[in-house]
Amino acid sequence: LYTVSEEEFVFVRTNPDVDIHDAEQHPFLYVVKHDSTQELGRVAREVVVDYLRGSGKMDRDGSNIAILHNIGRCGSTLVTSMVSKTKQCHVLSEPIALMDVVNILTRKERPITRDTEEYYDLVKETLVLLTPDPNRKYFIKLTPR
């Protein structure tokens, strides 16, 4: 998963020779995804949601996900590097898709036709796509853009 809007999810296929989840070599997920993208695909949100619900993936409780939300220049990259070195978590440092969701949730001109549950669903859908293995622990560093 690369980016998110209220209408679609954008996925990328990256160079298979590049380990985009190696936080030591690539401290920012959005940079390595951008630099190693070979193909891009856009899928309507409703299609992805139908798939996630039909597969039971939306039933997860998220207890395997830790999120560090922070301000810039605070040492969070160091913390992320330290967590990565423990090999206990799969680290996602600044995934642009989740940063997009934060921007959607915090913008002032949100459509009044949407309710809180729709926004909650967007957050959950994005997290499920970013953290596909419910048996693996994930550590996500999130810095607002």
Per-residue pLDDT reduced to its tens digit, 131-141: 999 999 999 99
Residue with tokens 């959607």: 104
Proportion of the chain above pLDDT 70, given as a percent: 96
Q: How many CB atoms lie within 10 A of CB 91?
A: 24
β 8-14/3-4 pair status: antiparallel
> Residue 130: which H helix or E strand, with range?
helix 116-130
The residue among 64 and 145 whose pLDDT is bigger is 64
Q: What is the pTM of this model?
A: 0.91
**Is the separation of the CB atoms in 125 and 55 below 8 Å?**
no
Residue 109 has pLDDT above 80, yes or no: no
pLDDT band at 106 (very low <50, low <70, confident <90, very high): confident
* Whole-number pLDDT of residue 140: 97
* Whole-number pLDDT of residue 111: 64
* Whole-number pLDDT of residue 113: 65
Residue with tokens 């949601």: 49
pLDDT band at 74 (very low <50, low <70, confident <90, very high): very high
Residue 3 has pLDDT above 70, yes or no: yes
Residues 6 or more apart from 114 whose CB is under 8 A from it? 6
Please list the residues that pair with 139 across neighbouring strands: 66, 91
Residue 112 has pLDDT above 70, yes or no: no
Tell me what the pLDDT averaged over the chain comes to.
Answer: 93
